[in-house]
Amino acid sequence: MEIIIADKAQAWFAEEMGVSSQRGVRFLSKVYGCSPIHEGFSLAIEVDEPTTPYVLIHEKGIPYFIEKGDEWFFDGYDLYVDFDEQLEEPSYRYEKQ
């Protein structure tokens, strides 16, 4: 499993969410909503510090991660984080491994 983040999405996270080298972006599942890979569950994000990461990358000194316990949601997929120019926010795509 990989996390791939576009430069514009990274800039948005830094500007809008106040991430730092200690507290980065955690990708996790939430009940309700819908995603292309799980009905009844959707993707959530929060600013947090990695404790038991399943996947962890650092881009421009900021940690982006998925914690153990949420790996079931992403199992078999890579997460691509891009930036939607029209909505002016990150967009998410799941690519089968």
* CATH number, position 17: 2.60.300.12
Counting the structural domains of the chain, the total is 1
Give the model's pLDDT for residue 69: 94
Indicate whether this model's pTM tops 0.95.
Answer: no
Do strands 89-96 and 24-34 pair parallel, antiparallel, or not at all (unpaired)? unpaired
Structural domain harbouring 77: 3-96
Kindly indicate the confidence band of residue 55, based on its pLDDT and cuts at 50, 70 and 90.
very high
Confidence of residue 39 (pLDDT cuts 50, 70, 90): confident
